[in-house]
Structure 1
Amino acid sequence: MQCIKCENEAIKNSDYCQGCEENAFKKIGGFLYIPAVSIVLSICFSTFQAMGALKYLLYPDNIRSVIPLIIFEFCGWLMIAGLAVYTAGQFFRKRRKTPGFYISLLVANLLFCLTDLSVAYSVYDVQLQHGQFAWLGRNIIGCAIWISYFLVSVRVKRTFVR
């Protein structure tokens, strides 16, 4: 079998020769584009949510009873944004610790979602809507897919080596 890039002899069970395979795994590619985009979107979304909570804290019209919940949400979104910024720095520099930080970001986001929804429902009797269950479902499915990918993938192990 020949290398798909340079026509040299390919490594067994690979499409590339030794040199091309090393170059291919130096870049973020394949399915790693999806986590790269999700980290950037996570930074934007969590910052936007933190600013929305801050707006309610600065102008608390008729919501004084849920101020502790809003403070919790503001702090939670701020921590998620900070972790996402740090993870993005690790990710785009292809650091060895990136998989651990990305998994931590996913788990932190899931735990924040679970805690936020359960506190809102059990303490403040907020009726949960379909969108909130969808948010929880997306987090659970995303964790299941991406945690297993980051733990098992050969591309992840070869890309994040610095």
Structure 2
Amino acid sequence: MQELPFKEIPPIPDKINGTNIISRMIDGLGFRYYWATNGLTSSNLKFCPVEGSRDMIGLIGHIYDLAYGTNKVLGGNFKKKELSEFKDLRAETLALYWDTSTRLKGMDPDDLENYNYMGSAQNYPFWYLLNGQIADALTHVGQILSWRRIDGNPQEKGVNVFLGKKI
């Protein structure tokens, strides 16, 4: 089995520019997601904090949708998959974030203005990915961490989000 990306955050870029900054945000998101979802149990995946809300696997599916949307807006060629198994959702989400980050690192920062989100009724400039899909995914990764703690399975000790590695 191939190792999943984001077990550690990639090295910092050589220069500061718009695409590298956004890539680093994606790297941080991928790292946090990797460890938030590492070691989830079947009980965790069924966990639902209150009646009427999503369960954990539904939340993970939503993060996959956010990762797919971000990747697609930024020129990714992944095909949307109907996934229901946790291991497949996790692997595909991490692959989407890895691909997005890698492409951003190779992209001319001036090209960002050529990418936009085309919703059902309107087009939105690239900027809406930051406060939309990317910020939303970070929020949901925090929910995974909280929910798994409530369900009795906290994240492994030693995950250092500042350094981007497990120590």
Fold-level match, TM-score > 0.5? no
TM-score, normalising length: structure 2: 0.36
- Structure with greater strand percent: 2
TM-score, normalising length: structure 1: 0.37
Q: Which has the larger Rg?
A: 1
Higher relative contact order (CA 8 A, sep 6+): 2
